[in-house]
């Protein structure tokens, strides 16, 4: 019985010693790991340049129209859409990745055959130049002025003819916007002047015709009155 009490006392003393060591270890000053971790994260963040997420840019590429060379998507619409997207990307590497995605995803059909031999599918300047050479507007700038000078229509057809010429001029203006040698800025004012001249000429013809008819009618009435007398 005495021996059991001694063993129990020693065991309790041993446990007290363990608890004391644990308490001492816990109370010892330790390095501030949170501060160190934050400092390391800050230094790491400072070392990494701010870049745009490539996933977002590629997702935006998927929203662009697909250009095939035929159909409703014109060369002007496609080029404008692509350049609007690329202008929002400031990091060169991401711009090249986006351009490459456009090359493979958004240029299809006949248009793909036009650019298939380009060696740098991440170079938008080369892609744009190649597409523009192939898909030119079907009207040349000098033909716009010829069309204006050759307008010979009546009033009912005048509005349609002017609208067609304006549409062609807008298409050419966008296509040649970077060409300093092509100036189409005065086409709209020419169209307005031509419309006025044609409209006034038609009204003048109508007035002359009315006067001529009135004169004939008046002359005929005088003849009839003369015969009666």
Q: Which residues contact 190 (CB under 8 A, 6 or more apart)?
A: 145, 148
> How many Å apart are CA 117 and CA 110, to the nearest integer?
13
Segment 88-110 mean pLDDT: 93
pLDDT score at 167: 87
Q: What is the mean pLDDT of residues 79-90?
A: 91
Task: Name the average pLDDT for the chain.
Answer: 74
- Confidence check: pLDDT of 210 > 60: no
pLDDT, mean of residues 148-171: 85
- Give yes or no for a contact between 182 and 137, defined as CB atoms under 8 angstroms apart: no
Confidence bin at 181 (pLDDT 50/70/90): confident
Token readout for 123 is 């170079």
Q: What pLDDT does residue 128 have?
A: 95
Rounded to an integer, what distance in angstroms lies between the CA atom of residue 98 and that of residue 84?
12
User: Helix, strand or coil for residue 52?
Assistant: coil
Please compute, for residue 210, the number of CA atoms within 13 A of its CA located in the half-sphere on the CB side.
6
- pLDDT at site 44: 41
pLDDT score, position 156: 76
Alpha helices in the chain (DSSP H): 2-27, 33-47, 54-61, 75-86, 92-105, 109-115, 124-134, 141-149, 155-175, 187-228
The model's pTM is 0.55
For the cut 60, the answer to whether the pLDDT of residue 35 exceeds it is no
Encode pLDDT of 37-80 as tens digits: 444 444 444 443 444 455 666 678 888 999 999 988 999 999 99
Say what the pLDDT of residue 154 is. Answer: 76
For the chain, what's the residue count? 229
pLDDT of residue 120: 94
Give residue 124's pLDDT: 96
Tens-digit pLDDT profile for residues 114-128: 999 999 999 999 999
Task: List, as own/partner pairs, every contact residues 35-40 make where C-beta atoms lie below 8 angstroms and the sequence separation is at least 24, other chains included.
Answer: none
Domain edges within the chain? 1-30, 54-134, 141-228
The pLDDT, as a whole number, for residue 18 is 56
């Amino acid at each position: 019985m005495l021996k059991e009490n001694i063993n129990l006392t020693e065991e309790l003393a041993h446990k007290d010693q363990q608890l004391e060591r644990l308490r001492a270890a816990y109370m010892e000053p330790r390095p501030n790991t949170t501060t160190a971790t934050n400092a390391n994260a800050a230094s790491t963040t400072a070392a990494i340049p701010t870049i745009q997420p490539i996933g977002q840019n590629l997702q935006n590429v998927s929203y662009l129209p697909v250009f095939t060379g035929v159909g409703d998507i014109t060369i002007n619409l496609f080029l404008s859409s692509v350049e609007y997207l690329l202008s929002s990307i400031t990091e060169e590497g991401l711009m090249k990745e986006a351009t490459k995605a456009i090359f493979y995803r958004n240029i299809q059909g006949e248009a793909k055959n036009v650019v298939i031999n380009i060696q740098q599918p991440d170079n938008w300047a080369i892609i744009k130049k190649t597409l523009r050479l192939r898909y030119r507007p079907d009207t040349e700038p000098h033909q716009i002025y010829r069309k204006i000078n050759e307008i010979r229509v009546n009033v009912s057809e005048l509005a349609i003819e002017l609208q067609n010429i304006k549409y062609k001029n807008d298409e050419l203006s966008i296509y040649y916007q970077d060409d300093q040698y092509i100036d189409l800025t005065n086409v709209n004012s020419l169209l307005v002047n031509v419309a006025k001249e044609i409209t006034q000429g038609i009204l003048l013809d109508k007035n002359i015709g009315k006067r001529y008819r009135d004169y004939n009618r008046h002359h005929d009435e005088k003849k009839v009155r003369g015969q009666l007398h």
